[in-house]
């Protein structure tokens, strides 16, 4: 649960309301999985039982989803119960925005409200985490292969061929990118990570199918590992870019 009441409200206050106003007892009448639950403590015990965790979450999803009951209390309880998911995403995506906590919670709320409970299978918590992460990345780091101008690029036109080959070109922006990458290497960013980043960008700019998978295969790593290294390298470049711009100003 969230300890800070400023995140999604006071947990003790919500728990008191759910018990005092008979909200949980009402849920028990509406959801068979909660039939033996009479109060918040009982609901949490059921949720913490590995054999019942997913079923309890699915019951609350049905209560909270807009195409079912749109129950605000169920939504708030789910957000509290999924605090671990929220903080994990905030930690993973924290470099994307100073408002990442609010963004993650807002998107998680949307995913709960629109969860397709009649047909969705698998772990509710896992599905919500993946859907929320995917949506936040799509919002803060859009990447559409057929429309490269919508995605995050290291250069103005996305062409890193010159950078990869080390050939100087006349365009001053590309020259600055080369200089920035060299500065990053001198500042301690691993040369291998920089080279992998450039290779990935060049592959995306080419016509080869599945460029990310192709690069990952050449290096004997998974696509997820490739993305982690790419994200880590971009974060490192942004960190040294401040000193670089001050030096060249």
Give per-residue pLDDT as tens, 99-134: 899 999 999 999 999 999 999 999 999 999 999 998
> What's residue 248's pLDDT?
67
Answer with the residue of higher pLDDT: 43 or 231: 43
Question: Percentage of the chain surpassing pLDDT 70?
Answer: 84
> What's residue 109's pLDDT?
95
Q: Which residues of 68-94 are buried (b: 16+ CB within 10 A; e: fewer)?
A: beebebbbbbbbbbbbebbeebbebbe
Neighbours of 201 (CB within 10 A): 22
Show the tokens assigned to 12: 């003790």
Q: Taking 90 as the threshold, does the pLDDT of residue 246 lie above it?
A: no
Answer with the residue of higher pLDDT: 178 or 102: 102
- Cβ atoms of 138 and 132 closer than 8 Å: no
Sequential DSSP letters for 151-188: S--SSSS---HHHHHT---S-HHHHHHHHHHHHHHHTT
Question: Percentage of the chain surpassing pLDDT 90?
Answer: 45
- Cβ atoms of 142 and 151 closer than 8 Å: yes
What does the mean pLDDT of the chain come to?
83
> What's residue 231's pLDDT?
85
CA distance 78 to 100: 19
CA distance 182 to 93: 26
Question: For the chain, what is the radius of gyration of the CA atoms?
Answer: 23
Q: Taking 80 as the threshold, does the pLDDT of residue 160 lie above it?
A: no
Return all residues near 244 (Cβ < 8 A) that are at least 6 apart: 179, 180, 183, 184
- Comparing 159-168, 210-219, 220-229, which segment has the lowest mean pLDDT? 159-168
Average pLDDT (62-69) is: 91
32 Ramachandran zone, left/alpha/beta (phi>0; psi -120 to 50): alpha
CA distance 37 to 31: 10
> What's residue 123's pLDDT?
95
> What's residue 202's pLDDT?
84
Give the domain ranges of the chain: 5-140, 153-248
Return all residues near 238 (Cβ < 8 A) that are at least 6 apart: 95
> What's residue 143's pLDDT?
54
- Cβ atoms of 13 and 6 closer than 8 Å: no
- Cβ atoms of 214 and 153 closer than 8 Å: no
Average pLDDT (218-233) is: 86
Confidence of residue 245 (pLDDT cuts 50, 70, 90): confident
């Amino acid at each position: 649960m969230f300890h800070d009441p400023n995140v999604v409200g006071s947990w003790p206050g919500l728990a008191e309301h759910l018990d005092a106003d008979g909200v949980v007892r009402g849920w028990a009448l509406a959801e068979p999985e909660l039939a033996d639950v009479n109060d918040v403590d009982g609901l949490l015990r059921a949720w913490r039982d590995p054999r019942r965790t997913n079923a309890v979450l699915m019951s609350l999803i049905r209560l909270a989803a807009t195409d079912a009951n749109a129950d605000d209390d169920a939504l708030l309880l789910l957000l509290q119960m999924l605090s671990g998911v929220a903080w994990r995403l905030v930690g993973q995506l924290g470099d994307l925005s100073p408002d990442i906590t609010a963004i993650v919670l807002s998107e998680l709320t949307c995913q709960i409200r629109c969860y397709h409970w009649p047909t969705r299978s698998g772990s509710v918590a896992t599905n919500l985490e993946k859907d929320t992460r995917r949506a936040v990345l799509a919002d803060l780091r859009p990447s559409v292969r057929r429309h490269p101008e919508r995605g995050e690029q290291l250069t103005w036109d996305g062409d890193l061929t010159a950078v990869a080959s080390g050939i100087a070109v006349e365009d001053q922006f590309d020259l600055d990118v080369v200089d920035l990458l060299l500065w990053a290497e001198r500042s301690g960013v691993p040369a291998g990570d920089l080279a992998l980043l450039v290779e990935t960008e060049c592959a995306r700019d080419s016509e080869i199918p599945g460029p990310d998978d192709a690069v990952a295969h050449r290096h004997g790593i998974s696509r997820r590992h490739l993305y982690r290294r790419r994200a880590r390298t971009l974060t490192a470049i942004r960190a040294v870019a401040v000193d670089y711009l001050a030096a060249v100003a």
